[in-house]
Amino acid sequence: MANPFLRRATEYIRDAEAFLSIVSPAPLTTFLAGHKRQNELFDHPIRIIGSPGTGKTMLATLAEFRMVETILSDLNSQTNRPLARALADAGIVVDQKPHVAAVRVPMESEYRDFWELPYPPHIKTRLAFWLLQARALLGLIRGLTANGKRDLSQIRFRPRADYDAHIDQIGGLTADGVRRRALAVERAIYSVGSSLVPPKLEDLPEDATAPYDPFDAIEAVEIDWNGQPLELRPLAMLDDVHELHHEQLAALFDVMSRREMRFGRWMMMRLDALSPSAVLQSAGSPPAANRSEGRDFIDVRMQVDIKKADARRKFRTIAQDIANRYLPMIETFRNRDTPKIRDLLSTAQPTISKSKLDDLRTRVDRSQDDLEITSERRHSIEALVSEYVTNVVPQMPEDIELAMVRILMHRYDKRRANSTPSLFDDGDPDPKTPLEADRSVAHGAMIHLHHIYKRPLHFGIEALCDASNENAEIFLNYAGALVAEVETRAIRRRSLMLSADVQQTVLGDRARAIIDAWTFTHASKVRQLVYKMAADCVEKSLEPNASLDAGANAVAILESDFENIRADDELLLVLKHALANGAITIERNYGQGGKLWCLVELTGTVCLASGLTFLRGGFLPKKVKYLREAIADA
Amino acid sequence: MREHWLNCITHFDGKVDDFIDSYFTSQDKRALLVAAAGFDPRSRRVTELLSQRMGDRLSAIFIREERPGANEALQSGADRNEAFLRAVVPDSVVTEIEIFADDGAAIGGSQIVGELLNHPFGTDVTDVIVDMSALSIGVGFPAARLLLEECERRGDCVFHLLIASNPDLDDEIRSDPSDRAGPVKGFAPLPSIGQDGDLDVAQIWIPQLAQGLGSTLAKIGQQFPNRYKVCPLLPFPSRNPRRADDLVTEYVTEISEEWRVDPRDLVYASERNPLDTYRLLSRLKQRFDRAMEGTYALQMILSPIGSKVMAAGAMMAAIDHDMSVHYVETESYTFDGALPRDTSNAPEGASTLVHVILAGPLYANFPTSLTSTEPEESR
């Protein structure tokens, strides 16, 4: 079997048991159960927004009725129990019974094709909307009968009050009638959208033009549940609505967000479906289809909506949970105790070779000579570093100590140059701001050693999680590459734990492969932008005095300048796609030095590929022109 | 079912020249040629052959596929080819087809259909020729189907496919796929799920393996997570006898682990003869239909992304048996090889020339389904 880490979660969907054994309830708990308006998630239209790989499809599949029924059918199973708890927390299960009949409707490219038909926009929208309603009902009925627990005669639809007149147009209230009508509508409308030469407007088939509004008409579904009647809230989860044209999506959203509709509607989309200003969270970004968030619809953002440092900590738990579910699926581990992902990744500090260490010593001595630093000053700097090592990191390797000394000598030189000369200057004045040896200098030293001597920088489970920017798919991609290496070692009967060197090589190669494989819109411009930013950040990080400590991994534009970029500027479009596809992150109104900045940060993937730190905060102040030039001529 | 396609008229290489010499030199022939005017060195060959024999009896619609961000070298290659084509066929129009909409969706199929409907061919046209050599399948397939069906409807018009194929050159042209997979316009029939609509659909995906296109096929395959079976299509016999082996080596992970292909499901078709691909797919369809009757609704999905000749055979099967064709549109091309000014002087054997006649009065004695106005009923 292929490395399960490297397969998309959607490939497991065909087999409920296989899917449930790998799915983590964490996204359900984090994004739905923990949502501040969790009680209203089935009443209002919901936009579930996330980058590719954040688990939208996985979440929708888990919420589908057939999966919920499978989970509830065996609550003694260790796999099912935590999933059932998460479903209950999200309101999908109540009293160990389903509360919602949910169906996932993939918005395949055929819906987008309707936008190319030679009809007025409202007709094209209506055709696509009716097709998706028909498919939602067909999928819902299929889901309700999928596990063989009931047949069509045990399913009935309850109409909204005062909607009795609409019952005929949806095929009645029986599952059989509703299904037949939905099939007829699907066939008629599909044939229009997929035809080589679309029929004239007046020649559209009757089933494609007769009124059909089941989302308006249906309020509840009644089914037989273990011999008892049970009423369920219907819910259509439209997956990948970003595939639609943006005008088509706006029109469809307008139709779907009618308040009186009782059929639940979740629209799952990638960030790039939103306008650049909405993605980049500009102030005063226009509302979606003249509806306002909070009142007419609710947004669920599949990113942890708390401080980024907390988000990282939270994601580390989610990621390890996912990885530990995948590991037992690897055949090689079946005959031995399956290890935990944490135990496979060594966190022991690597050391550079003796010859490199000798070279480093020479380099430090040369710096001392070049900077004309006295022996006494060097001794005092070495004492500072030794004190830090003794008190804080007793196991610190010598190479980091030496690199720290070198950085501090350069810092001393800078501070000496900036101090006012004294008549009694002996060439070794004490700097106004005393030197400090601390964690940040150590980080700077590690960056220097990584670039000069290829000493590993990114290793250990926390680095693996941080490299993923809270994206489960990216995490699995990196973890999969590491696990493949572990598998080889298992076959060769060697120790499973990967050294820092191996981790760095595997992760770096994978990061570069991910960037090379970007094929989204404006990918080449995005690639050019991040490589330019990364090159400048590396240059800054390698300053001998490590002025930004662990170095830079971002550029910052003054917020006032960024706000002035026109909404239709190509730069915003490129930044939107970069953000939506995990090349950069953006933080607005980042306060630093008494100014507000728009921080454009490189993601873990780019940092891995370029040897930059994952630590946040180091940035290069730039102008908008810098970004514009970086994407030119791609 | 078009019975005559199982054994229709085909010519290869030198015989194509002989056929053109003997057929198109006849003064009562007036032909419409639809061909690409892109950077591909094969854009010129067929046009040049025909124009030399037909002179002003040849008219043409040249299609220039426009992709955002095409590099300058390819643009100038296409400009040179376009100028050449305009010069050799004075009665021609060059149509620019935008392959992508502003949201990145592939719309080339809809665009070409609209353009061809805007340029209906006159009743004096006796032959319609589609040169598939340098057309992408997103444009070439809908164009060919539209024109074929029009010729079949008229009954007195001959429909030809011509392909200058060079799989080695295909391997040299690198393409960056877009991020969306989907059906080719006009090639996405809804599977028939029985009278009561109670049959489950069994999707059989038949990807044509081609060098360096693993990520493209992976994107297409992700559209069918519930597929019933995958039957990879390999070129054999082929000009390079090891090509099939090389492809199996390249795709070993996909075949054995991702798609979990039963070795008996690998299928082979000649790289040189489109009828071989057509016959193979027709046979598969018959067998699956027989095996699944009353149990599943069969949906065969083709992804002919490799050799143009095999793609032509796949297109014939898709048209004749209502199969789906899924692909990923190419966002950009990279071609490091020299762009020859005139490929007609290319060394013998560099390209294979294939000619197929799919419809026309010469098949009048064969049973054909599309003489009826209600094709679904008569099939």
| More reliable by pLDDT, B273 or B40 | B273
pLDDT at A203 over 60: yes
- Give the Cα separation of A587 and A617 in Å (integer): 11
A224 touches chain B (CB under 8 A): no
Whether B193 is covered by a domain: the verdict is yes
CB A176 within 8 A of CB A156: no
Tokens representing A240? 């990948």
Which residue of chain B comes nearest to A8, CA vs CA?
A: B222
Whether B377 is covered by a domain: the verdict is no
Same domain, B196 and B301: yes
Q: What is the mean pLDDT of residues A388-417?
A: 91
Which residue of chain B comes nearest to A2, CA vs CA?
A: B257
Same domain, B188 and B276: yes
Cβ contacts of residue B55 below 8 Å, gap of 6+?
none
What is residue A17's predicted lDDT score, i.e. its pLDDT? 72
Using a CB-CB cut-off of 8 Å, the residues of chain A touching B223 are 108
Tokens representing B37? 């005017």
Give the phi and the psi of residue A129 in degrees, each rounded to 5.
-65, -40
Give A492-531 pLDDT, tens digit per residue: 888 889 999 999 999 999 999 999 888 777 888 899 999 9
What is residue B341's predicted lDDT score, i.e. its pLDDT? 44
Domain count, chain B: 2
Which residue of chain A comes nearest to B221, CA vs CA?
A: A11
Mutate to test the interface with B, among A197, A526, A568 (most CBs of B within 10 A): A197
CB A520 within 8 A of CB A545: no
How many other β-carbons are positioned within 10 Å of the β-carbon of residue A489? Answer: 16
CA angle A28, A34, A37 (to 5 degrees): 110
> Residue B180 is nearest to which of A10, A109, A524, comparing CB atoms?
A109
Whether B379 is covered by a domain: the verdict is no
| More reliable by pLDDT, A160 or B129 | B129
Confidence of residue A2 (pLDDT cuts 50, 70, 90): low
What is residue A419's predicted lDDT score, i.e. its pLDDT? 72
Which residue of chain B comes nearest to A115, CA vs CA?
A: B107
Give A572-605 pLDDT, tens digit per residue: 888 988 988 889 988 888 888 899 999 999 999 9
Same domain, B134 and B210: no
**Sequence-ordered alpha helix ranges (H) in B1-96:** 14-23, 45-54, 72-88
What is residue A8's predicted lDDT score, i.e. its pLDDT? 60
What is residue B274's predicted lDDT score, i.e. its pLDDT? 96
CA angle B91, B92, B93 (to 5 degrees): 140
Same domain, B144 and B272: no
Same domain, B257 and B272: yes
Cβ contacts of residue A129 below 8 Å, gap of 6+?
A252, A255, A256
Mutate to test the interface with A, among B98, B103, B230 (most CBs of A within 10 A): B103
How many other β-carbons are positioned within 10 Å of the β-carbon of residue A545? Answer: 17
For A151-172, the three-class secondary structure string (H helix, E strand, C coil) is CHHHEEEEECCCCHHHCHHHCC
What is residue B348's predicted lDDT score, i.e. its pLDDT? 39
- Give the Cα separation of A218 and A166 in Å (integer): 9
Give B135-148 pLDDT, tens digit per residue: 999 999 999 999 99
B26 touches chain A (CB under 8 A): no
Angstroms from A627 CA to nearest CA on chain B: 19
Give the residue from B305, B124, B76, B129 showing the smallest Cα distance to B207.
B305
- Give the Cα separation of B188 and B301 in Å (integer): 9
**Sequence-ordered alpha helix ranges (H) in chain B:** 14-23, 45-54, 72-88, 108-118, 137-154, 167-172, 214-221, 243-250, 252-253, 274-292, 308-321, 375-378
How many other β-carbons are positioned within 10 Å of the β-carbon of residue A131? Answer: 24
pLDDT at A283 over 80: no
Q: What is the amino acid identity at position B249?
A: T
How high does pLDDT run on average in chain B?
Answer: 88
What is residue A279's predicted lDDT score, i.e. its pLDDT? 67
Same domain, B250 and B357: no
How many other β-carbons are positioned within 10 Å of the β-carbon of residue B11? Answer: 19
Q: What is the amino acid identity at position A513?
A: A
What is residue B342's predicted lDDT score, i.e. its pLDDT? 43
Local structure of residue A29 (DSSP, 8 states) = I
Give the phi and the psi of residue A260 in degrees, each rounded to 5.
-75, -15
Same domain, B265 and B364: no
A524 touches chain B (CB under 8 A): yes
Q: Do B197 and A195 touch (CB under 8 A)?
A: no
Distance of CA B76 to the CA centre of its chain: 25
ipTM: 0.88
pLDDT at A286 over 50: no
Peptide bond into B237 cis (omega under 30): yes
- Give the Cα separation of A138 and A470 in Å (integer): 35
Helix A80-89 / helix A56-63 crossing angle, nearest 10 deg: 90
> Residue A517 is nearest to which of B215, B253, B332, comparing CB atoms?
B215
Using a CB-CB cut-off of 8 Å, the residues of chain A touching B176 are 519
Beta strand pairing status for B352-359 and B127-131? unpaired
What share of chain A has pLDDT > 90, as a percent? Answer: 54
Q: Tell me the count of A-B CB pairs closer than 8 A.
A: 77
> Residue B146 is nearest to which of A180, A196, A246, comparing CB atoms?
A196
- Give the Cα separation of A92 and A60 in Å (integer): 12
Give B250-272 pLDDT, tens digit per residue: 999 889 888 889 999 999 999 99
- Give the Cα separation of B105 and A272 in Å (integer): 13
User: E strand or H helix at A601, and its extent?
Assistant: strand A595-602
Q: Do A110 and B176 touch (CB under 8 A)?
A: no
Mutate to test the interface with A, among B116, B148, B153, B180 (most CBs of A within 10 A): B180
Q: What is the mean pLDDT of residues A242-252?
A: 90
What is residue A566's predicted lDDT score, i.e. its pLDDT? 84
> Residue B190 is nearest to which of A10, A11, A190, comparing CB atoms?
A190
- Give the Cα separation of B286 and B194 in Å (integer): 17
A194 touches chain B (CB under 8 A): yes
Query: Could you tell me the CATH number of the domain that includes residue B46?
Result: 3.40.50
Q: Do A194 and B104 touch (CB under 8 A)?
A: no
Angstroms from B25 CA to nearest CA on chain A: 34
What is residue B221's predicted lDDT score, i.e. its pLDDT? 92
Tokens representing A190? 């599909």
Using a CB-CB cut-off of 8 Å, the residues of chain B touching A112 are 105, 182
Whether B378 is covered by a domain: the verdict is no
Q: Do B117 and A524 touch (CB under 8 A)?
A: no
Whether B376 is covered by a domain: the verdict is no
A197 touches chain B (CB under 8 A): yes
pLDDT at A315 over 70: yes
**Sequence-ordered alpha helix ranges (H) in A266-374:** 276-279, 308-326, 341-344, 354-371
Whether B293 is covered by a domain: the verdict is yes
> Measured between alpha carbons, how far is residue A261 from residues A221, A253, B213 in Å?
15, 13, 45
pLDDT at B218 over 80: yes
- Give the Cα separation of A537 and A541 in Å (integer): 6
Q: Do A13 and B225 touch (CB under 8 A)?
A: yes
How many other β-carbons are positioned within 10 Å of the β-carbon of residue A307? Answer: 9
Give the residue from A47, A158, A30 showing the smallest Cα distance to A101.
A158
Whether B77 is covered by a domain: the verdict is yes
CB A484 within 8 A of CB A326: no
User: E strand or H helix at A225, and its extent?
Assistant: strand A218-225
A519 touches chain B (CB under 8 A): yes
Q: What is the amino acid identity at position B88?
A: V
User: E strand or H helix at B65, and its extent?
Assistant: strand B58-66
pLDDT at A304 over 60: no
What is residue A451's predicted lDDT score, i.e. its pLDDT? 96
Q: Do A8 and B222 touch (CB under 8 A)?
A: yes
Give B62-100 pLDDT, tens digit per residue: 999 998 767 788 888 899 999 999 999 999 999 999 999
What is residue A12's predicted lDDT score, i.e. its pLDDT? 55
What is residue B309's predicted lDDT score, i.e. its pLDDT? 93
Give A68-118 pLDDT, tens digit per residue: 999 999 999 888 998 999 999 999 999 999 999 999 999 988 899 999 999
Confidence of residue A332 (pLDDT cuts 50, 70, 90): confident
Render A226-283 in DSSP notation, one character per residue.
TTEEEEEEEEEEEETGGGS-HHHHHHHHHHHT-TT--SEEEEEEEGGGS-HHHHTT-T
Same domain, B271 and B200: yes
CA angle B220, B223, B225 (to 5 degrees): 120
Angstroms from A164 CA to nearest CA on chain B: 27
What share of chain A has pLDDT > 70, as a percent? Answer: 91
Same domain, B346 and B219: no
Whether B315 is covered by a domain: the verdict is yes
- Give the Cα separation of B133 and B164 in Å (integer): 5
Q: Do A245 and B257 touch (CB under 8 A)?
A: no
Give the residue from B188, B32, B184 showing the smallest Cα distance to B108.
B184
> Residue A11 is nearest to which of B113, B225, B253, comparing CB atoms?
B225
> Residue B186 is nearest to which of A112, A196, A243, comparing CB atoms?
A196
Beta strand pairing status for B92-98 and A619-622? unpaired
Classified as helix, coil or strand, B297 is strand
Same domain, B302 and B257: yes
> Residue A109 is nearest to which of B117, B182, B257, comparing CB atoms?
B182
Q: Which domain holds residue B58?
A: 3-170+336-371
Cβ contacts of residue B9 below 8 Å, gap of 6+?
B356, B357, B362
Same domain, B148 and B184: no
What is residue A428's predicted lDDT score, i.e. its pLDDT? 74
Q: Do B113 and A108 touch (CB under 8 A)?
A: no
pLDDT at A273 over 80: no
Q: Do A109 and B101 touch (CB under 8 A)?
A: no
Same domain, B244 and B222: yes
Give B207-217 pLDDT, tens digit per residue: 999 988 888 89
Angstroms from B326 CA to nearest CA on chain A: 11
Q: Do A517 and B257 touch (CB under 8 A)?
A: no
What is residue A472's predicted lDDT score, i.e. its pLDDT? 80
What is residue B370's predicted lDDT score, i.e. its pLDDT? 47
Confidence of residue A309 (pLDDT cuts 50, 70, 90): low
The side-by-side arrangement of strands in the sheet containing B324-335 is: B173-183, B324-335, B296-303, B200-207, B229-230
